[in-house]
Amino acid sequence: MDCQYLPLTTTGQFSNLFLDYISQKEVLQPYYDRFPTLEAFEEQIKNRTFDDSKRRTLVDVLERQYRHIPNKPDFSVLAQPNTFTVTTGHQLNIFTGPLYVLYKWITTINLARKLTETYPEYRFVPIYWMASEDHDFAEINHFTLFGKNYTWETEQRGAVGRMNPQELKTLFDEIPEKLFLFEEAYLKHDTLADAVRWYTNELLGKEGLICLDADDADLKRIFAPIIKDELLNQATGEIVTQTSQQLETLGYKTQITPREINLFYLEDQLRERIVAKTGADGTPKYEVLNTELRFSPEELLALADEHPERFSPNVVLRPVYQEVILPNLAYIGGPSEVPYWLQLKGVFDHFGIPFPLLMPRNFALYVNPASAKKMEKLSVMPEELFWDEVKLRRAYTQRISENSLDLSDEKACLEQCFAEILNKSVKVDKSLEGAVLAEKTRLMHTIDHLEKRLKKTEEKNYETVLNQLMTLKAKLFPNGGIQERTENYLNFQLNDPQFLNKLLSVFDPLEYQMQILKD
C-alpha cells in the first residue's frame, strides 16, 4: 500500500487547539507533562509506578471477562512490574462504527510494537477501553454500509455495555451481505460489552489488543477513594472550569463542561447524574436526577464502600479512573479527545496521578484502486480534495483552462489609473475626491462581478470533467465529510480481506499527519 503524507494543517479538518498541541506551541505546555515522542517514553516509564495488588486485580478481572473466549491473550504479563499499557477508548458503536475507531485500535497496537522494539527490557500491552458505561445510545446505534444507514432501535436504557444486542437480528435481516463475525458476536452474547469483546478479539486479538470493561466492582473498588473525594469535596469541577477559562483566554474553544459532581449513579437500565442538594432543614443530601433516589452524605459514602460499581465517572473523571487501574503510559485519542484531556491536567495533579502521554491517533484517507485511477486521470492532488466544492471547482477550472480567468492585472491597472485621476482631480477641486473614489469602487465591483461570471462560464465549458471531479470527491468525502468519520471498515474489508493487515503494516503511530493510502 502506497502512503503519502499531508500536514494536518492543510486539511481544514481540525481545531486550533488540537493543531497547536501537535506543533508543541509553548502556551500549551502547562497543560501536559511530556509531548509524545519515542524518547519521551523512557522518562514516562521512570515516573510510572503501579501497585502489585492493582496488577493482580486487573489480571483477575480480565481473566473473568475473557473466560468464554477461545484463544484469549496471556494476561499474566500484566502482573509483571516491567509491563505497561498504552490505551485507547471509544464507545461500543455497532459493527465497529466509523472507520476511525479501527484507526484508534491499530495506532495503539502499532505503538505497543514500536515501544517493544525500542525498549526491549519492558513489555507493552495495547488496551481498548470499552466505554461500556456510556449511556448516549444515539452515538452508537447506527452505522453506514455501502452508502446505506442501518439503525438499532430499542427500548433499553442505561449503560450501553449492559444492553442485550440480540435485538440486532432485525438489522441482519436488512443487510444484504452475510456478516458472520457480527452475527456470532451479537446473537450469541447477552450484553453488548461481551459481544464487542468477542469480535474485537477475533479481529485483532492475535495482534495483542486487549479489551477492558471497567464496569466492574473490583476495579471500582480501587477507584473508591476518588469517588468519595468527589462526593465530599467536589473539587474537580472548579479545577476544570479554571483550566477551561485559561484556555479560552488564550483563544481556544474548549470541549467539555464539568459538573459540580462528576459522577453518575449506575444500575441496570439507569445511569443518571448525582447532584448535591440542601434539605429543608438545612442539612446536605444527594439526589439522583430523574429518580426517587435520595441519600444522606453518610449513606452515599457507605454505598461507595459497599457497592462502588454503582458509581460511574463522567468525561471528567473517566480518564482518572483509567489511569488509576492501569499501569498506563499513553492515551491515544482523536481530534476531540486530545483537546479535552488538556483540560484535565489539573485534576490529575489534584489526585497525584501521573498524566499520560497524550497521543493523536493515526489519520487516513483510503483511496481504492478505482478512485486512484480517477485521481491520476484528472491530475488532482490529494490536498485539493480536502477543499470545499466551490474552492475546488474554481481552482481546478483555473488550472486546466487554456484561458486566463484572473483579472488581477486589470484591477491593478485600474487602481493605477484611478490614482492618476484622483491626483489630477484634487488639484482642480478637493471636493472631487469623494466622487472619484466612489466611481473607483463601483468599477471595481463591476470587474469583480465580471471575473465571477468569467470563471462560472468557463466552469460550464468544463462541466463534464468537473462532474467527474465532484463525483470523485463525493466518493472519498461521503456527505461532504471526511471519510474516516462516516465510512465503516466493512466497506473496504468485504472487497479486500487484507485491508486490516495493510493498515497494520503502514500506520506509524508517531506520524502526526494525514496519510493518503493507495493500493
Q: Model confidence over 235-262: pLDDT tens digits?
A: 999 999 999 999 999 999 999 999 999 9
pLDDT, one tens digit per residue, over 386-403 is 999 989 988 888 776 655
Give the separation between CA 334 and CA 337, rounded to whole angstroms: 5
Task: List the domain boundaries for the chain.
Answer: 2-222+314-366+499-518, 407-449
- Which comes out higher in pLDDT, residue 279 or 225? 225
What per-residue confidence (pLDDT) applies to 454? 58
Give the separation between CA 408 and CA 267, rounded to whole angstroms: 67
Give the separation between CA 165 and CA 160, rounded to whole angstroms: 10
Residues 6+ away with beta carbon under 8 Å from 319: 331, 341, 344, 348
Given a cut of 90, whether residue 438 has pLDDT beyond it is no
Q: Span 452-472, mean pLDDT?
A: 75
Q: Span 499-507, mean pLDDT?
A: 96
Burial class, 364, CB count within 10 angstroms (exposed 0-12 / middle 13-18 / buried 19+): buried
Give the separation between CA 321 and CA 223, rounded to whole angstroms: 6
pLDDT, one tens digit per residue, over 55-71 is 999 999 999 999 999 88
3-state secondary structure of 48: coil
In 51-208, which ranges are continuous DSSP H helix?
A: 52-65, 99-118, 169-174, 180-187, 192-204
Q: Which of 203-207, 305-309, 320-324, 442-446 has the lowest mean pLDDT?
A: 442-446
Q: Which of 33-47, 225-239, 348-362, 444-458 has the lowest mean pLDDT?
A: 444-458
What per-residue confidence (pLDDT) applies to 73? 93
3-state secondary structure of 152: coil
Which three cell numbers mark 269? 437500565
